[in-house]
């Protein structure tokens, strides 16, 4: 065994012999250079072109995300007219009660009657009859259809708009009053429409029944007494539109949109800029059409005691009710989310 191993060793040594210095320069070098050059070129190619994809993965299927367009522009979502649309409009009826609060401020007038400055005047000034007058006069506030007297006076005003468009600029009241009518009219119109459709295009019995059921259901709903705001949300009719993908929340862009919309109408008082930390919270209840049904200052204590706070809060409420910035552009399909919430008005970011 040892002899064999010795021979092997020798053979090996003999094979290695050509590697001695004398032969290397002449025979081995050319091959090495070529090899080295090949490897370098290969490396260079790898660096430039990148590694070959050994495992070819099929490109991932691009799944379309049909989200963004839907949330921002509700109009574009309307795949077809929603026959139940009129119902939400009918609900704003409750605000008709809004004129009721008006009488409140008027009774208030019983002027605190601070006496004149320098002039010596009777202190108490109970003067019950006098303050009463304005009260009596003011009640006509719920000016039903004032356009007539207005037109009579119209000649002098050289203002921008003619008296005719009047009804429009009064979004709140005008809307409330006429709505009930449209609400009732719609079901009938829709009923007739269905009947016409039936006449013109006799439908299969099953579909016919379905349509009748639909109309009955709608009429029943329309006949209901004007529901309270909360109820409105609870009984919100099933939308024929595709559900919003983001479902139960407002997106950042929704909120930004509202901010941008309100900014031009929020005219805070001069001194508020020196109190950037002052935030007046206004709790709002919204109508489904984006108009403000009710706005109430959250902190009544501070409202009564802090003049600047009161001025900021009043500015906020004016902004919310200003026709220039109303109705708010909120996604109608998520009414449950913004049916009531809080606006915090401050001058924090004003220069």
Question: Is residue 241 a contact point for another protein (CB under 8 A)?
Answer: no
Q: Measured from the CB atom, is 222 or 278 closer to another protein? A: 278
State the Cα torsion 136-138-142-146 to the nearest 10°.
110
In the numeric block, which tokens belong to residue 273? 């800029």
Check residue 342 for interaction with another protein (CB under 8 A). Answer: yes
Interhelix angle 205-223/179-200, nearest 10 degrees: 170
Identify residues 205-234 at the interface with another protein (CB under 8 A): none
CB of 289 to another protein, least distance (A): 18
Q: Is residue 177 within 8 Å of residue 143, measured between CB atoms?
A: no
Residue 87 buriedness (CB in 10 A; 0-12 / 13-18 / 19+): buried
Closest to another protein by CB, 32 vs 105, is 105
Q: Under the criterion CB under 8 A, does residue 349 sit at the interface with another protein?
A: yes
Site for another protein in 126-145 (CB under 8 A): 127, 130-131, 134, 137-141, 143
Whether 287 contacts 334, CB under 8 Å: no
Residues between 260 and 299 that touch another protein (CB under 8 A)? 262-272, 274, 279, 295
Q: Check residue 347 for interaction with another protein (CB under 8 A).
A: yes
Among residues 142, 209, 218, which one has the least CA distance to residue 185?
A: 218
The residue (of 216 and 283) whose beta carbon lies closer to another protein is 283
Q: Which is nearer to another protein, 222 or 295 (CB)?
A: 295
Instruction: Decide if 88 contacts 227 (C-beta within 8 A).
Output: no
Report the residue from 72, 233, 250, 285 that binds another protein according to the rule CB under 8 A: 250
Which of 90, 258 has the CB closer to another protein? 258
Site membership for another protein, residue 236 (CB under 8 A): no
For residues 241 and 66, the answer to whether their CB atoms sit within 8 Å is no
**Rg, C-alpha atoms of the chain:** 40
Binding positions for another protein, 145-174, rule CB under 8 A: 146, 149-150, 153-154, 156-161, 163, 165-166, 169-170, 173-174
Torsion sign, CA atoms 252, 228, 100, 93: positive
Stretch that binds another protein, among 13-21, 36-44, 175-183, 336-344 (CB under 8 A): 336-344
Q: Are 96 and 177 in contact (CB under 8 A)?
A: yes
Pick the closer one to another protein by CB: 242 or 247. Answer: 247
Contacts to another protein from residues 82-111, by CB under 8 A: 101-102, 104-106, 108-109, 111
* SS3 of residue 31 by DSSP: helix
Q: For the CB of residue 275, give the shortest distance to another protein in the complex, in Å.
A: 10
Name the DSSP letter for residue 343.
E
Residue with the two structure tokens 């119209």: 154
CB of 96 to another protein, least distance (A): 14
**C-beta of 254: minimal distance to another protein in Å?**
9
């Amino acid at each position: 065994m040892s002899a064999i191993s010795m021979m092997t060793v020798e053979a090996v040594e003999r094979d290695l012999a050509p590697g001695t210095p004398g032969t290397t320069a002449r025979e081995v070098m050319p091959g090495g250079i070529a090899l080295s050059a090949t490897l370098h070129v290969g490396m260079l190619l790898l660096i430039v072109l990148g590694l070959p994809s050994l495992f070819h993965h099929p490109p991932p299927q691009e799944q379309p995300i049909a989200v963004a367009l839907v949330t921002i522009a509700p109009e574009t979502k309307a795949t077809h007219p929603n026959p139940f649309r009129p119902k939400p409009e009918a609900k704003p009826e409750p605000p008709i009660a809004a004129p009721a609060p008006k009488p409140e401020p008027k009774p208030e007038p019983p002027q605190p009657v601070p006496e004149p400055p320098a002039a010596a005047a009777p202190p108490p000034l109970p003067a019950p009859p006098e303050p009463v007058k304005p009260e009596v006069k003011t009640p006509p506030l719920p000016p039903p259809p004032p356009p007539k007297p207005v037109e009579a006076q119209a000649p002098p005003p050289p203002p921008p708009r003619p008296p005719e468009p009047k009804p429009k600029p009064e979004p709140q009241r005008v809307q409330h009053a006429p709505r009930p009518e449209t609400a009732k009219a719609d079901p009938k119109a829709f009923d007739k429409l269905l009947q016409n459709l039936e006449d013109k295009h006799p439908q299969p019995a099953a579909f016919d029944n379905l349509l009748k059921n639909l109309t009955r259901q709608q009429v029943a709903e329309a006949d209901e007494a004007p529901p309270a705001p909360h109820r409105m949300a609870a009984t919100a009719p099933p939308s024929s539109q595709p559900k919003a993908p983001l479902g139960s929340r407002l997106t950042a862009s929704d909120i930004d949109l509202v901010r941008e919309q309100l900014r031009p109408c929020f005219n805070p008082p001069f001194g508020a800029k020196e109190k950037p930390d002052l935030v007046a919270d206004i709790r709002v209840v919204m109508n489904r059409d984006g108009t403000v049904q009710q706005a109430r200052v959250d902190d009544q204590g501070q409202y009564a005691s802090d003049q600047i706070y009161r001025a900021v809060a009043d500015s906020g409420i004016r902004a919310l009710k200003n026709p220039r910035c109303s109705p708010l552009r909120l996604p109608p399909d998520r009414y449950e989310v913004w049916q009531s919430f809080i606006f915090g008005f401050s001058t924090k970011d004003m220069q």
